[in-house]
């Protein structure tokens, strides 16, 4: 698999231009993904510099290990970014010269239906970056109260049709649990005009993913 297929990083050169100011420095990438930014960072540091890459997703870690196998001045860990301080303390690397966040999901995650991130293909309601975490999208969709679902759609999706979407979800799950992404997409489609559907689905799926992975709480801890 080539790295563009895995994920094409945004603002690759611009982001790394600002990040790497000292070729002897220690640089951290909190969202390693396919290693696109990582490779560019590693190209710009020398043998005295060090790269630290974190990702919660085992597939991302395996792919990045392979992509970056030609570089030895690196440390790669499969952890959520809120463990950043723990990793840096363990390795005795504080303070570092720069930290990069490229939040969200990689193309490979959206393109793997069985991960449950995509509203375009049927898959289980999963959406976990780390498959050992307990909370899945299935639990959020089927077990959260209407008030909690509403909060998630408003705060993490900025979705203005949230009331009707929540009502549809709750009505549907009263009969039997909602099991997959196609079912969820169909339920959402009943709440919005067809021409707004794709953007609404993107916001709803994003909101649930943010909740499943505790993304905002983890970001807050990472930034602190």
Residue 55: exposure state from Cβ atoms within 10 A (0-12, 13-18, ≥19) = buried
- d(CA 8, CA 15) in angstroms, rounded, equals 14
Judged by CB under 6 A, the chain residues 120 through 179 that form the site for ligand SAM are: 129
Q: How far is the CB of 35 from ligand SAM (least distance, A)?
A: 6
- Count the residues of the shown chain that bind ligand SAM, applying the rule CB under 6 A: 22
**From edge to edge, which strands make up the β-sheet containing 98-100?**
74-78, 50-55, 26-29, 98-100
Among 22, 97, 104, 197, binds ligand SAM (CB under 6 A): 104
Phi-psi region of 219 (alpha: psi -120 to 50; beta: other; left: phi over 0): alpha
Of 19 and 141, which has the nearer Cβ to ligand SAM?
Answer: 19
Encode 104-130: b = buried (16+ Cβ within 10 Å), e = exposed.
Answer: ebbebbbbebebbbbbebbbebbbbbe
Of 106 and 136, which has the nearer Cβ to ligand SAM?
Answer: 106
Of 4 and 148, which has the nearer Cβ to ligand SAM?
Answer: 4
Q: Does 116 bind ligand SAM (CB under 6 A)?
A: no
- d(CA 55, CA 214) in angstroms, rounded, equals 14
Per-state percent for the chain, helix, strand, coil, to nearest 5: 55, 10, 40
Of 56 and 201, which has the nearer Cβ to ligand SAM?
Answer: 56
Of 33 and 49, which has the nearer Cβ to ligand SAM?
Answer: 33
What would the x/- binding string for ligand SAM be over residues 57 to 96, using CB under 6 A? x--x-------------------xx---------------
Query: Which of the stretches 99-107, 119-127, 145-153, 196-204 binds ligand SAM when contact is defined by CB under 6 A?
Result: 99-107
Q: Does 34 bind ligand SAM (CB under 6 A)?
A: yes
Q: Does 31 bind ligand SAM (CB under 6 A)?
A: yes
DSSP secondary-structure letter at 49? -
Query: Which two tokens mark 105?
Result: 């999901």
- d(CA 218, CA 194) in angstroms, rounded, equals 35
DSSP secondary-structure letter at 96? P
Judged by CB under 6 A, the chain residues 192 through 211 that form the site for ligand SAM are: none
Among 19, 25, 26, 37, binds ligand SAM (CB under 6 A): 37
Residues contributing to the site for ligand SAM (CB under 6 A): 7, 9, 31, 33-37, 54-57, 60, 80-81, 102, 104-106, 129, 215, 218
């Amino acid at each position: 698999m080539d790295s563009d297929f895995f994920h094409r990083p945004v603002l690759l050169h611009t982001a790394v231009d600002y990040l790497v100011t000292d070729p002897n420095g220690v640089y951290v990438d909190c969202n390693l993904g396919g290693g696109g930014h990582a490779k560019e960072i590693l190209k710009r540091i020398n043998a005295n510099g060090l790269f630290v890459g974190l990702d919660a997703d085992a597939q991302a870690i395996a792919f990045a290990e392979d992509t970056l196998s030609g570089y030895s001045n690196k440390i790669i860990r499969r952890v959520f970014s809120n463990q950043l301080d723990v990793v840096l303390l363990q390795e005795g690397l504080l303070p570092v010269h720069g930290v990069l966040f490229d939040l969200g999901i990689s193309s490979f995650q959206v393109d793997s239906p069985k991960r449950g991130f995509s509203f375009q293909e049927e898959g289980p309601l999963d959406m976990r970056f780390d498959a050992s975490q307990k909370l899945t999208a299935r639990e959020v969709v089927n077990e959260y109260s209407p008030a909690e679902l509403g909060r998630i759609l408003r705060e993490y999706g900025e979705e203005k049709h949230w009331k009707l979407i929540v009502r549809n979800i709750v009505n549907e799950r009263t009969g039997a649990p909602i099991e997959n992404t196609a079912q969820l997409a169909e339920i959402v489609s009943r709440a919005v005009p067809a021409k707004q559907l794709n953007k609404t689905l993107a916001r709803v799926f994003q909101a649930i993913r943010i909740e499943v992975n505790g993304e905002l709480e983890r970001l807050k801890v990472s930034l602190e």
